[in-house]
Amino acid sequence: MRYQVIARRWRPRTFDEVVGQPHVVETLMNAIQKGRVAHAYLFSGPRGVGKTSVARILAKALNCLDGPTPYPCCRCGPCLEIAQGTFIDVLEMD
């Protein structure tokens, strides 16, 4: 079995797995469902609240081969590449 940092192993992969940010999850899911996604989002806040996790889930939701969907498959090429940090169209800035 391959070693994986515990934070990465238990990182949420879908909006349903995000804990403690229901207002953020609901807002983003509604935007995707209604086709009203903004051209940019800024995630800010203290460490450990889920900014990176939610940003990656949003990127998967918008780039998934199932189409823009609030429920990304996490199995297609774009979803896997976003999870690994190798998807060319997603840029993370700290």
Q: How many domains are there within the chain?
A: 1
State the Cα–Cα distance between residues 21 and 4, nearest whole angstrom.
25
Percentage with pLDDT > 90 across the chain? 84
Q: Tell me whether residue 92 is in a domain.
A: no
* Reported pTM: 0.91
Average confidence (pLDDT) over 33-56: 95
* Domain containing residue 60: 6-84
Outline where 1-94 has alpha helix (H): 6-9, 22-34, 51-63, 77-84
Q: Tell me whether residue 48 is in a domain.
A: yes
Poorest-confidence range of 2-6, 31-35, 70-74, 78-82? 2-6
State the Cα–Cα distance between residues 48 and 8, nearest whole angstrom.
12
CA atoms in the 13 A half-sphere facing the CB of 53: 22
CATH code where residue 29 lies: 3.40.50.300
Query: How many other CB atoms are found less than 10 A from the CB of residue 16?
Result: 11
Q: Tell me whether residue 12 is in a domain.
A: yes
Q: Tell me whether residue 43 is in a domain.
A: yes
Q: Tell me whether residue 89 is in a domain.
A: no
